[in-house]
Every structure is written in C-alpha cells, then in structure tokens.
C-alpha cells in the first residue's frame, strides 16, 4: 500500500485499547482529506480476533499474530515486524500512540527505519503536503506547530487527542504473515509491578474526581474516593498529591501524567497549574472546589464552588447517595 497512513494499534489482553480506536479514526480522517489509503496495523497475540472491532472505525486492518513471552517488552515484538511491513509496503506516515509502549516502540522504529519523528502531538492536521502536529512545550507555556521536512515520518499522538468514531463503512480485515529476519537484541524485563489503580482507569472514565495538595493527605483523599465512588467515576490527582505519596502515579493527570477526557471533571483542592490544565482541558464540564476564588483553575473551570472541600465533599457525596437511593441518576 503506497502513500498510505497507518495507525499502529495496541492490544491489552487481546483487546484493542481506546487509543487504537482513536488512531484508526485519525488515520481514516487524514486519508479521506488527502485521498490516501489508510490502514491500522495490529501486531500481537489476539490481533486477528481484535481486528473486526478496529475495522469498524474505517481503515483496513492488517492483523499480525505474534506471541509475546513474559520477559519480552511489547515494543520488541512489534518493532521488527512493523519495520519489515513498512520496508515492504512503504506507507508515508505512521501514527503511534504516545503511551508507554508506544514511546518505546517509536524509539525502536526510528533506529530500524531511520525515519524522522514528531513527538507528543496533542492534535494532528493536514497542511498542504503533509501533517502538522500541535505540541505543548515549555511546561505547557508554548504551543508549537511542526511538520516534516520530508514526505515520510512517525507521529506520536497523545491519547484522547481524537474522539474515536465508527465509520459509515467498515474496513476490511487482512491476516498478514511477517517474516522477521532477525529479532532485536534481547532485552529482558526483570520484574513486573502492577500499577496501583483506584478502580476505573482514569483514561477511560466518564467521571473523574481529582484531588490536589489542598486535600491535605491520604485521609483527605478518602473523601475524594467516596465522591468518585458515589458518582461511579475514577480518582485522579495532581503531581503535588502524587509526589507526596498520597495516591499512585497511575492517577496523575497532566503534562507528566495522563491526558484525560471525562464528561465531568471535579477538581478538589487543585490550583489549576498549566501543567495540570494540559491534561484535563478537553473534559466536558470542569467543576472546581477551591477556597480561593482567584485560583488559576477559575479561568478554565465551568463552575467554581468557593469553599472548604472538607465541608463540601461529604455533603455532595451524601446528596448523590441519597439521589441514587431514590433510584435517580446523580447527574
């Protein structure tokens, strides 16, 4: 497939991740705008079964079954197979998720294919002859737009930069056998530690209740957790709260944490520093609970409740539980 745009999918327990569906949507949209072909490449155990779900988002799916042994990082399985496919079919642009595995993969691909990269894109548009990538730099103080100086390259796209949307016509699924002449030099994972998570992963939650330094400690976070639980949502946090050890890194939102896109974001005791804002600015509705009416979060929140979170959170939780008890939906 010449002149194509490929979305590089990710699998988790044999299922496509949300960012895979987002990248498939982006590949389809860019291909439609430019008259190119689009494909999503899925490499890993269960790729064939996952392919039908991904094909609903438009591009054809190239499914490559590949077993991964426990000690092997995902990128070392995907990179040599993808590099062989790229060398054979010569797509112009590869869309790779700016996730932990995606960044790992992009690094290996650059070494194997000697392609240029635009990293950490928060949005991708087509400008003239090629893609333009918007990036947030200098701690979110500056937004840049960059493009390639040659007609091929790898784009690392941040999760939640695109809304995944099924296509009117699904793509076709093809099973591909890839011969890898040489596996990469062995890299061994010596230990695996499960991320500590507070229930629903924040990347997928429709409601997030997040706490910051104003929560004051792990005990204060229990009130955040209780409200999240009452709303059926997930718990998020600022870097200040994570660095203090009150909650795990998996919950951190922002420039050095995760980018989230819930329908409702409730920020308790969070000032709204730019590095936090970049992780949550595309949320549907942002509600801030802060005792300082002039906190920076007031500039981008839809609603600011000025007051002490230790008074407001328990009352809100109680009110929502009461509504639930009456068989009403909380929001």
Ligand X SMILES: Cc1cc2nc3c(=O)[nH]c(=O)nc-3n(C[C@H](O)[C@H](O)[C@H](O)COP(=O)(O)OP(=O)(O)OC[C@H]3O[C@@H](n4cnc5c(N)ncnc54)[C@H](O)[C@@H]3O)c2cc1C
Nearer to ligand X among residue 138 and residue 179 (C-beta):
138
Q: How far is the CB of 327 from ligand X (least distance, A)?
A: 32
* Residue count of the chain: 331
Work out how close the CB of 267 gets to ligand X at its nearest, in angstroms, rounded to a whole number. Answer: 8
Q: Give the nearer residue to ligand X in terms of CB position, either 53 or 282.
A: 282
| Least distance CB 170 / ligand X (angstroms) | 37
User: Rule CB under 6 A: which residues touch ligand X?
Assistant: 139, 212-214, 238-241, 252-257, 269-271, 273, 275-276, 279, 289-292, 295, 308-310
Find, among 208, 183, 216, 211, the residue nearest to 280 by Cα. 208
Q: Determine the longest span between alpha carbons in the chain, in angstroms.
A: 64
Task: Name the minimum Å distance from CB 47 to ligand X.
Answer: 32
Cα–Cα distance for residue pair 325/327, rounded to 1 Å: 5
CB of residue 213 to ligand X, shortest distance in Å: 3
**Residue 17 or 252 having the CB closest to ligand X:** 252
Closer by beta carbon to ligand X, 32 or else 243: 243
| DSSP character string of 160-188 | TSS-----SSPPPEEE-----SSPPSP--
Smallest separation (angstroms) from ligand X to the CB of 250:
13
How many whole angstroms separate alpha carbon 138 and alpha carbon 224?
Answer: 30
Give the nearer residue to ligand X in terms of CB position, either 44 or 236: 236
Distances (CA, A) of 260 to 45, 63, 155, 192, 297: 27, 28, 20, 25, 16
Q: What's the closest the beta carbon of residue 198 comes to ligand X, in angstroms? A: 16
Please report, for residues 68, 202, 258, 269, 294, the alpha-carbon distance to residue 262 in angstroms, rounded to integers and kept in the order given: 33, 8, 12, 19, 24
Alpha-carbon Rg for the chain, nearest whole angstrom, is 21
Question: Smallest Cα–Cα separation from 258: which of 250, 269, 247?
Answer: 250
Least separation in angstroms between residue 244's CB and ligand X is: 9
Q: 83 in helix, strand or coil?
A: helix
Give me 248's structure tokens.
């795990």
CA–CA separation, 125 and 116 (whole Å): 18
Q: Which two tokens stand for residue 73?
A: 């990082």
Judged by beta carbon, residue 275 or residue 285, the one nearer ligand X is 275
Q: Which is nearer to ligand X, 36 or 277 (CB)?
A: 277
Q: Give the Cα separation of 154 and 133 in Å (integer).
A: 11
How far does the chain reach from its first CA to its final CA, in angstroms?
48
Rank residues 80 and 212 by Cβ distance to ligand X and give the closer one.
212
């Amino acid at each position: 497939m010449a002149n194509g745009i490929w979305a590089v999918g990710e699998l988790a327990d044999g299922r496509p991740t949300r960012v895979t569906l987002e990248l498939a949507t982006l590949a389809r949209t860019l291909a439609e705008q430019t008259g190119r072909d689009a494909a999503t490449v899925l490499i890993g155990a269960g790729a064939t079964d996952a392919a039908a779900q991904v094909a609903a988002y438009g591009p054809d799916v190239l499914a490559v079954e590949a077993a991964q042994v426990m000690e092997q990082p995902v990128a070392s399985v995907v990179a040599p197979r993808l590099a062989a496919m790229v060398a054979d079919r010569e797509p112009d642009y590869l869309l790779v998720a700016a996730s932990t595995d995606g960044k790992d993969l992009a690094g290996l691909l650059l070494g194997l294919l000697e392609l240029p990269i635009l990293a950490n894109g928060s949005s991708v548009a087509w400008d003239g002859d090629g893609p333009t990538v918007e990036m947030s730099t200098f701690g979110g103080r500056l937004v840049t737009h960059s493009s390639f100086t040659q007609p091929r390259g790898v784009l690392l796209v941040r999760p939640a930069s695109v809304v995944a949307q099924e296509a009117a016509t699904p793509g076709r699924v093809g099973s591909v056998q890839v011969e890898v002449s040489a596996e990469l030099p062995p890299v061994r994972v010596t230990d695996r530690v499960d991320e500590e998570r507070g229930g629903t992963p924040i990347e997928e939650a429709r409601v997030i209740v997040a706490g910051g330094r104003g929560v004051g400690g792990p005990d204060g976070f229990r009130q955040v957790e209780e409200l999240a639980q009452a709303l059926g949502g997930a718990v998020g946090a600022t870097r200040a709260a994570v660095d203090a050890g009150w909650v795990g890194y998996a919950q951190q939102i922002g420039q050095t944490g995760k980018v989230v896109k819930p329908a409702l974001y409730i920020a308790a005791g969070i000032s709204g520093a730019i590095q936090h804002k970049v992780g949550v600015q595309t949320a549907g509705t942002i509600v801030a609970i802060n005792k300082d009416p002039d906190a920076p979060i007031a500039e981008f929140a839809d609603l600011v409740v000025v007051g002490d979170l230790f008074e407001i959170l328990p009352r809100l939780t109680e009110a929502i539980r009461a509504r639930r008890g009456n068989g009403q939906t909380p929001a």
